[in-house]
Structure formats: structure tokens, C-alpha cells
Amino acid sequence: MNRSSSRRECRINFSSQIACLTIFLALSETCSAQIWNDVTIVMSDGVVLEATIVRPLGLPPSGGFPGIVLVHGFGGNKDQMLPIALAMAVYGYASIAYSVRGQGNSGGLSSVSGPREIHDLLGVIQYFRNAQWINPNKIGVTGGSQGGIHSWMAAIHQMPGVRAVAPLIATPDFARALVPRGCVTYGLPRELTLSSVRYTTDRDRARDFIIADEYDSLLVFIDERDLGRFVDSVRIPVFQGLGWADFLFPVNGGIAARSNLAARGVPIWSYFGTNGHGEPVDTIQAALVLQKTIQWFDHWIRGFSLDGDSIPIVFYADDRPGWPWHTTPSWPPQPNNLLRLYVSGGELRTSPPFTAESYQFSLAYDSSYTPEMAWNDLYGGGQFMAAFTSSPVRFLSEPLQTDIEVTGIPVGRIFVQGDAPKFQAHVRFYDVVGTGTGFDWRFVSRTINGIRQNTPGQIHELDVEGRALSHIVSAGNRIGIEVTSFDLLHADRANTIPYFVSSSSLLLTSPSSPSYVDIPVVGSIPVAVSVEGRIPASYVLEQNYPNPFNPTTKIPFMLPKESIVTLKIYNVLGQEVTTLVNEPRLPGYFVEDWDATNSFGNKVSSGVYFYRMEARETTGSVIFTNVKRMILLK
């Protein structure tokens, strides 16, 4: 590879994207403590990338300086990483910051974090390792957004010399995160239309797929880039930092990566909090993330202590003012419980519906406004909003009796049907303040759900997954959900690109097929007020929740009249493990807990179990039996 270099004046082009990190410049005392060199690096296809190397003054330690490769966010340039390079030099690291192809003053065209960018990263790392004052076997990689994706690239492709990585504001499933569940989010066209990026024709191909709504073809473009399915190949330590409200890359992908690495014994630290895409900058949280990044590199690259912290560990901040933060060795934080709320009687209740119910939500589309016009408007603005009329349906819980910490991934199951060939059914979660005279619905999370192959009248059972969050719902507030075909990011811009078709849809719920949401709660669950005294219409044995579980789960059932009830647990050999209920019960709704660690002396191991409910009349005649399966994972 060819190189050229020149002594650089100590000037830094500060970017608003990382201005929060300039507080660390105070640590550097003076810029004269570093040596700066501009260089050019020729890639294997002849494209020339610009780069800057920053290293401490003085002689390198034995074997050379440890090195950090710094990669900027998409549409940026190398100068945006120089404040971090300066901070790294204070801590004894040499750094190389380069402009990714098609960005800054580097040549070439961007293929949007595709295979070509992987080859470029490898080329930069090899160039850096060849410097005579660098230890070629003590390299780290970090950066935010595009830089975080490149950090994952280095770990997944086991690039030479890289001992640890710190991907920030990016998840391995970054590409799939932009096209969830049959939908396309606003983040993808946004990333494909940045004026500061020079694109290959791949961008035009993806644009055409989006405009024509050729989802399967778009997935080919996406899967050429996505790294989520390759996480099993990561062998080196990872510190990741993600933001709850990031509209591009949900924390869910980071939670999945953490689980994968922790299960395989790969060291992993995680920060979940703020400073993601679209969030206001919080300098204190940014300082925490940079501190943990340096601490991570110090340990895994230089052999310093981690101050007794265990591996894995999660630092997470809830979204109250000041971002109070917590530390937990497990995820979700323990004790963790699920507050199940059913759509019932037009509300969210802790008891399921006793009769079949349906609720309408719809989307009216003005076809004079074309998908190409929407692309040009970047799915926002006056014309875009005027083309769609949405009628969602909303449900409220009763006021909570105590504060609760909602931390983790809200999930649920809904039953929907629609009259259009395709329709969307998003569930949006709210913290609702107020009384019957007026409510303030404060958005906290969303699920994204698209039904692309629909026959009018067909019922679809959807397992929904919300975006992870950490939020305190205060006593007196309510939990609200909204089911809609029009998912907005802001008041005048879509978060999920709508299908360009009118639809009238129904949310369905019934005793045998209830629609519900599960809210992850740290600590005990306050009992939300339910309507008492209502009698179920029939016998029902519901699916346990959570499922899979460890070590406790809940088993709900309903009785329409007084009955003698038995509820027993069996293993796969048909052997009885325990009896949960064996007594007369009045009509009503019941939930029985099973703790697999305490089953009357029986040893309970991981695996499949069955629970069987039998209801008899007082005369002894059996009038109802049902069996369901559940999975215990230890």
C-alpha cells in the first residue's frame, strides 16, 4: 500500500455529532502531547482513503503503542473522530481515524456498509499494524453508528491483531432492524439520501425496491449487509453502547448480541441508555460511555484491571431527567416479572375478556399521492400527512397503585383481520397521565407489524415485540396502547413507511384467543384494578406466561360456574411432577404460579412439560379437560 504523510497543525474540526465528547480534551493538557500525521491509504481496488494518525509523544513501550482504529458515523469524515483520538493519546494509545469511502475526502463510492467496506476496514487495519511504532497484536476498533457497524465487522470477521472492539450506536442486525416484520422504517430511506455520501448504484436499486414495495427483493439488498446471523463467530471481548430511543437501531439487537456472547463465554459489557440516533445529547452519559470504552480497552488490550467488575455486566440508564443509571450482571435485571394486560371490555385489564370483542382501526389513502412522491418527501411533511387519514384504537389500564420500573422488551399477542390485500397493525405503548377529563399520552415504545399476504376475513395471530426501554411509570399514571396502521416518528413524519393502500382492520379478542401485552417490570407487580364479579362464558385454559420460563411461570384459567378443579404438571414421560390445584372453585378468572425450583421435592430439569386442567361438577362428572405444553429453560 502507498502512503504519504505530513505534519499536521493541532486543529480539530469539531462535529456536532460528538461535540459532547470534547470535555475529554481537558484531559490532554496541551495538544503538544501528541504527534499528528495525515496519510493516504490505497485500497486493493485502487481507491484512496484519507486518514489521520495520532500518537503520544515519546518512545513507544516495548512492542509498540497499542492502537485504536476510529470510524466515523455515516455521512461524516475522519475529523469527527479526532477529539476521541486526542483522548486516546492521553491514555497511551495511538489512533488512526479514516474517512470511509464515498465520504469526506476519501475516494470511491459508498455501498452502504457492504462487503467493499469490510475489505477497506481490513486494509486500514493492516496499514496501521505495519507502522513501526505500533504493536500489531494490540489493536482495538470503535466508533458510532457506521463506526459501530465497522467495529462489529472487525469482530465478526476476526480481523488480524484486533483484541477488543467497542461498537457504539449500532447493532449486528443493523440492516434487518431497518426492515422489520414486513415493513420498512424511515431510517432506511434517510440513510440512502444523505447529501454528504456518494453512493454506488446499489443505492438506486434499493430505492427502486422501496418505491415499488418489492419487499422480498429489498431483503436481498439488506441481507448482503446484515451481520446479525454471524454473531456466533465473535471471539473477542465487546463493549457496546446503545440508546433506547434510537430510531435506527433498537436496543433489542444489542440485547440479543449480549445474550449470544454471554452464553458462549465471550466477555461482553453493555451500556443501554441515551445518545442514540435522534436523541438529545447528554454529556454525562457520553462521558460514562467513553470512560467505559477506555476501561474496556485498557483491560483487554493492555492487561489492566477491570476494578472487580464481573463479566458480563450491563450499565443501563432509565429515561428520567438526568438518566439515573444502574448496574446489573444479568439481563433483564432481576427480579423481573411480566405484567400481563388483556384487551377486555374496551380497556387493558389483568383479567382476560369473558366474551368475544372486536375493535376497528383503519387507514384511508389518497392514491393521487404516489409512493415516488413520498420518497422525494422522505415520508414526511404536509403533502405526505395529507395523503393519509388514520383512525387508531386505544386502550387504557386503570391507574397504577405504585411506581413501577418498566425495563426490558414489551411483548404480546394480538389477533387481527383486515379487508385489504396487505395492512399494518402496529402496537404503540404509552405512559398516560391524567384523569377522565383529559389524558396526556406520552409515547414510550412501539411494535412494528405488517401483514403482506391477507385474504379478507382471515384472522392473523401476531406475536409482537416492542422496542426495549427503561422507563418509570409513576403511581396514578396508566399504561396505554394504541393499535394503528399509521406509525409516526414525529407529528409529521412516518416511522414506518405505510402501505399505499386503504384498509379497514379489526383487533379481535376473546376468552379462547385473547389479545394482550406483557409489560416487563423490575420488582414486584402492582395489581392493576380489574372489573370484579364478571362471570366467564366458558371454561378456558390459557397458555402459560412467560413461555419459555425460568424458574417461575403463570397459568391462567377461567371457570363459568362452580367446579372441582385439578391442575397438574407432567414431564414428557407422562410422570406427574406436581399438583397446583385440587379443590372446589367458584366461577371466575384464576392465575396459578408454578415455581420449578420448588415442586415438592421433585427434581425439575430443563425441558418440555405439560400442564393438564380438569373441571368436574360437584357430582363428580368431568365437564372440561385441556392440556398445554410449556418449556423450562435453565
CATH number, residue 423? 2.60.120.260
Q: Considering the domain boundaries, does residue 32 fall inside one?
A: yes
Shared-domain flag, residues 481 and 578: no
Is pLDDT above 80 for 206?
yes
Shared-domain flag, residues 269 and 190: yes
| Cα atoms in the 13 Å half-sphere on the side-chain side of 351 | 19
Shared-domain flag, residues 322 and 387: no
End-to-end C-alpha distance for the chain, whole angstroms: 52
For residue 187, the SS3 value is helix
Q: Considering the domain boundaries, does residue 626 fall inside one?
A: yes
For residue 600, the SS3 value is coil
Shared-domain flag, residues 21 and 84: yes
Instruction: Indicate the pLDDT class of residue 19, thresholds 50, 70 and 90.
Output: very low
Shared-domain flag, residues 133 and 270: yes
pLDDT value at residue 310: 75
How large a percentage of the chain has pLDDT more than 70? Answer: 92
Distance between CA atoms of residues 314 and 328, nearest Å: 5
pLDDT value at residue 618: 83
Shared-domain flag, residues 50 and 148: yes
- Alpha-carbon dihedral of residues 570, 572, 575, 578, nearest 10 degrees? -20
Note the pLDDT tens digit of each residue in 470-528: 999 999 999 999 999 999 999 999 999 999 999 999 999 999 899 999 999 999 876 55
Which residue, 301, 328, 355, sits at the end of a domain? 328
Distance between CA atoms of residues 382 and 483, nearest Å: 23
Give me the count of residues in the chain: 634
Shared-domain flag, residues 391 and 486: yes
Cβ(291)–Cβ(299) below 8 Å:
no
Shared-domain flag, residues 356 and 494: yes
Distance between CA atoms of residues 151 and 102, nearest Å: 19
CA 402 to chain centroid: 27
Q: Considering the domain boundaries, does residue 278 fall inside one?
A: yes
How large a percentage of the chain has pLDDT more than 90? Answer: 81
Domain count, the chain: 3
For residue 302, the SS3 value is helix
pLDDT, average across residues 378-391: 98
Q: Considering the domain boundaries, does residue 528 fall inside one?
A: no
Distance between CA atoms of residues 160 and 129, nearest Å: 9
Helix axis angle for 201-212 and 215-223, nearest 10°, is 150
Which residue, 522, 557, 586, sits at the end of a domain? 522
pLDDT, average across residues 448-464: 96
Is pLDDT above 50 for 236?
yes
pLDDT, average across residues 344-365: 95
- Alpha-carbon dihedral of residues 343, 347, 352, 355, nearest 10 degrees? -90
Shared-domain flag, residues 24 and 56: yes
Residue 119's φ and ψ, nearest 5 degrees, are -65, -40
Cβ(342)–Cβ(479) below 8 Å:
no
Instruction: Indicate the pLDDT class of residue 588, thresholds 50, 70 and 90.
Output: confident
Q: Residue 559 belongs to a domain with what CATH number?
A: 2.60.40.2550
Which residue, 271, 303, 328, sits at the end of a domain? 328
Q: Considering the domain boundaries, does residue 530 fall inside one?
A: no
Give residue 322's identity as a one-letter amino acid code: G
Is pLDDT above 90 for 280?
no
Q: Considering the domain boundaries, does residue 174 fall inside one?
A: yes
Q: Considering the domain boundaries, does residue 492 fall inside one?
A: yes
Beta carbons within 10 angstroms of residue 463's beta carbon = 11
Q: Considering the domain boundaries, does residue 532 fall inside one?
A: no
Q: What is the pTM of this model?
A: 0.89
Shared-domain flag, residues 472 and 515: yes
Tell me how many degrees the CA angle 364-190-242 measures, rounded to the nearest 5: 110
Domain range holding 507? 336-522
Shared-domain flag, residues 18 and 120: yes
What cell numbers appear for 362 in the block?
Answer: 383503519
Note the pLDDT tens digit of each residue in 85-142: 998 999 999 999 999 999 999 999 999 999 999 999 999 999 999 998 999 999 999 9
Shared-domain flag, residues 55 and 169: yes
Q: Which of 264, 274, 615 is nearest to 469 (CA)?
A: 274
